[in-house]
Structure 1
């Protein structure tokens, strides 16, 4: 019997190796989103800030719904934090920091962390179970 979805397959990876690979890809995407968001948020204020936060929220929630676990949201959030937070401390040769001195950098950091916490703590429905396993 089919459990729905694509050809009877579930939408999330069941094998441990596949799940670890998905988490690794989500961490990498989180790193890239954090770096891109850090550069875009100050350059195109205020639309860049909204774009950076929307991209982070979409990635965190997408990871949670793909894996159907809280770790699916925590993996890209960890990658995002590893990229975005240390970039706030990097200074350039001119003595300036990579982030601007305005409020947008604080909104980006705190907003991204709040979105990560929200997406990680929202309760997700349990993964679908095959009808064969219920017997």
Structure 2
């Protein structure tokens, strides 16, 4: 609240650091996202398109679950960052010539679909609420 009694916007409020429990939750979601990325990379190639759909559904479930568990958009973004790191590291070829992703439509759908799910889930996740009256409803 300002000295005049008006509610400040969310952008004008001071930065509040997250609690240690919340930081631990985000780190746990980051690790779960990496595990989901590795598991999805291994599953997406099997029984096309069932493995691909299972891998993408697992990632989407983790993103939505993280957002609902923490109540913030960062709860969806933390596992997405872990997923992205794991998948990018798995796309690199090794000196022996081995690789996890083949050059097929399923691999590309997994990569592009996972990124699209990241954007969708992070956008639709609940944002920070100011606790003030609803401006659009005039309450």
Interval containing the TM-score (normalised by the shorter chain): 0.7 to 0.9
* 1:18 partner SS: helix
What's 2:115 paired with? 113
What residue ranges of structure 1 are gaps of 5+ in the alignment? 1-14, 130-135
The RMSD of aligned alpha carbons is 2.0
The structure with the larger Rg is: 2
Asked if residue 53 in structure 1 is aligned to residue 75 in structure 2, the reply is no
Q: Pick from 94, 97, 100: which aligns with 2:99?
A: 97
- Aligned with 1:43: secondary structure? coil
Q: State the Cα distance separating 1:126 from its structure 2 match.
A: 5.6
Distance 1:103 1:56 in 2: 19
Q: Partner residue of 2:70?
A: 67
TM-score by length of 2: 0.75
Q: Structure 1 stretches (4+) deviating beyond 4 angstroms?
A: none
- Structure 2 Cα separation of the partners of residues 113 and 61 of structure 1: 14
Residues 64 and 125 of structure 2 are in contact (CA less than 8 Å); yes or no, is this contact kept in structure 1? no
8 A Cα contact 1:66 1:72, kept in partner: yes
Q: When the two structures are aligned, how many residues end up with a matched partner?
A: 114
Q: TM-score of the superposition, structure 1-length normalised?
A: 0.77
Q: Secondary structure at the match of 1:99?
A: coil
CA offsets, 1:39-76, max 9 Å, x none? 11012321110000000000001001111111000000
Task: Supply the distance in 1 between the matched residues of 2:125 and 2:52 (Cα, whole angstroms).
Answer: 27
Unaligned runs of 5+ in 2: 1-17, 132-139
- Contact preservation (8 Å) 1:41, 1:105: yes
